Structure 1
């Protein structure tokens, strides 16, 4: 990226950093920052002060996540809960940078900007390179994309291990996701159709706008991430062997010792996942034997 533009000492602090290709595509725009704040192309999601839209800009295909001022009410509400309010897209680009340096695959940040002096009135955006021709794992189960029999079992085993590795790396970086569901893992459609055991299958982790960053992730946030992940995977057709595979990859070589030392935490993770499933589906999940806590 070019050297970022930063202004201070005025009524509005501003930061702007664009990839050269993106900057060239917008060279005719008088106010580049304002260009990103105006919805364009196809809107995918709009929640309160946040909006995500998809747009083609020259040869670039991008997703823009725009944040407008959330107001003091939202800020104070989060402070009252002893939580840092999400007032800017900065969360996403800083989280993406940390995870990328750790070797994880995340959407490439092509542009980022932030302006505003006070937390309730910050305006910001992050422009992400679109991940072309990708499938998320939301509907991952037997028969997905034609995977059946032994090939299905081998794919499931691979993905369980890979998701565990990604989650472990993220948590060891001091980052918790806060929306860690399997639909936030993407895989290229063409690559997965040609996949065979022994081959790498690149997974991308997306939707980083609510991540939290610390030196170490507190136990309660580990629990929330892992419970959400398990809840979203309970209809995949998990076996006890799949659960052990996840634990081995997530906890490392001394996984049995780690597990027994923190068995209470893992019990809470499973129980919370079951509660989430009951609340969302209005019925109990079918659990592998290893997860039946009662």
Structure 2
């Protein structure tokens, strides 16, 4: 069977790689690791004097595909999912990591090799880091209000257009420090995004539950959560009850010894 190949790389990036096979060069490129898990790596690289983030996918294997299918989940096979997600968010006017290059090679779905190269956003801070000290030091009320409204507006825009992030945690919202005092947020890490033909109730519950879970320990008030609800899509009590139930389960799982051990092992691999 002939190997299928997709490649979209600007000439400037090709030249900075020094010739040869561009796909191989990008798949073999080394840099500062930010994530290194089975079948996938995210690194920061310098090319032609500029900083980029490169996600390299080395194949998920049949085991992962069957596991997803048995759970009635769509398997994520490589980088092109993120490419499509970036293009969709650009159309919706949601700021994210600018797409620079991408490629995919292979015909066997379990062993596809692929990559996506995005521009470094520069001086940004994740909301997880930004809000970490809010329990001790109360943030400016107006600033917090604008942040909550913008997060709700992004969630609303995604979900009204059938887009689900599926890793919708506050760590994937990043504040553009160069735009302050204005509040400009980027939504990043789109490799698991699903795009539906119409809004999905269950997928929206999962996204909002993940967002709620990840904000539980930053000192938000009841008024803060009500403000989010007002600026998100109008939902009935059933929706919010399902969000609450799922978020509490996520919180319990995250704080379990088993999950924390796994997290510590993953972090040790990129030190």
Instruction: Please give the TM-score of this superposition, normalised by the length of structure 1.
Output: 0.81
Q: Which runs of 5+ in 2 are unaligned?
A: 257-271
Structure 2 partner of 1:136: 126
Q: Report the CA distance between 1:280 and its aligned residue.
A: 2.6
Q: 1:277 — aligned with what?
A: 251
Among 181, 187, 190, which residue is 2:175 paired with? 187
C-alpha displacement of 1:33: 0.2
In the aligned structure 2, how far is the partner of 1:148 from the partner of 1:238?
12
- Alignment CA distance shift 1:141-1:30 (3 Å): closer
* CA-atom RMSD in angstroms: 1.9
Determine which of 219, 222, 225 is the counterpart of 1:243.
225
Q: Relative contact order, CA 8 A, sep 6+: which one is greater?
A: 2
Partner secondary structure for residue 8 of structure 2: strand
Counterpart contact for 1:228–1:273, Cα < 8 Å: yes
Aligned length: 255
Question: Contact 1:135/1:187 (CA < 8 Å) preserved in 2?
Answer: yes
Task: Determine the structure 2 residue equivalent to 1:214.
Answer: 196
Residue 18 of structure 1, aligned match among 1, 4, 9: 9
The corresponding residue for 2:156 is 168
Question: Which sits farther off after the overlay, 30-39 or 74-83?
Answer: 74-83
Deviation at 1:54, TM superposition (A): 0.8
**Structure with the greater alpha carbon radius of gyration:** 1
Q: Deviations over 1:139-193 (max 9, x none)?
A: 333856xx966x611111111000000111111221111110001011123434x
Structure 1 spans left out of the alignment, 5+ residues: 1-9, 252-257, 283-294
**Structure 2 vs 1, CA of residues 42 and 140 (structure 1 numbering), >3 Å: closer, same or farther?**
closer
Cα distance between partner residues in 2 of 1:48 and 1:240: 40
Q: Normalization by structure 2: what TM-score?
A: 0.88
Of the structure 1 ranges 99-108 and 37-46, higher mean CA displacement relative to structure 2 is found in 37-46
C-alpha distance in 1, partners of 2:74/2:249?
Answer: 26
